[in-house]
Amino acid sequence: MSFIHPSAVIEDGAILGDNVSVGPFVYIGSRVILGDNTTIASHAVIEGKTTIGKNNRIFSHAAVGTIPQDLKFNGEEVELIIGDNNIIREFTLINPGTKGGGSVTKIGNGNLLMGYVHLGHDVIMGDNCILANGATLAGHVELGNHVFIGGLTPIHQFVHIGDHATVAGASALSQDVPPYCLAEGNRAYLRGLNLVGLRRSMEREDINALKVAYRELFEQDKPLQSVAKDLFERSTSEKVKRLCEFIKTSKRGIPFKRTKKSEEKQ
């Protein structure tokens, strides 16, 4: 059984599923679709062509589906799609897509967006990601699955972050972070594999293969793209192949520094 607070404003045309809870002073626009068992806390705003799946929790003062913060936006038909089982905490801002970026912002399932998180237009996010307080994603950013972004970390537009990667808090990221890796600093660069996260979800054999691949890719005085191509062709590990494929297709480049030993050889 749904609960709608009498002070909430729900425009005609909005579609609400079963067992939905809408708190005081919430605004829900006419083209919004809310899935079953979703909770919207007080003073939240949900606008635009926004589809929200099942079992989501949206906390107070979140602004979801408001128009993109892009001066080129001119009222085009754009969309925001949010999957199931997400937690969207206080004062989070999520914008839909833009015509130039595919017209859709899409969030997967099981993600946690902590307070004051910003997801810009045309962001694509996978499943089971965690964005800590104040993390900021510019337009066109893509996140894989099981990504963690620390608090107060801005991500530059068009950056791509691979599966099981971590970007530490108070970093500033302007290039792509490959799967399974850890980036940190301002500007952020790779510090190694995300071993803490990998040990929670990956077999030791896969982790060992990634360790060997990481050393070969980033700790030798050889061109990164050629090493990635060669390693992709001869590796039997699917995880290593995924890492190499990400590097081969990166458009913004990989932020890494040669080890001191390698630098001394140059």
Catalytic residues: 121-122, 139
Pairing of strands 188-193, 181-185: antiparallel
Residues 6+ apart with CB under 8 A from 75: none
Residue 81, strand partner residues: 51, 106
Hey, what's the torsion of the CAs at 135, 123, 94, 136, to 10 degrees?
A: 20
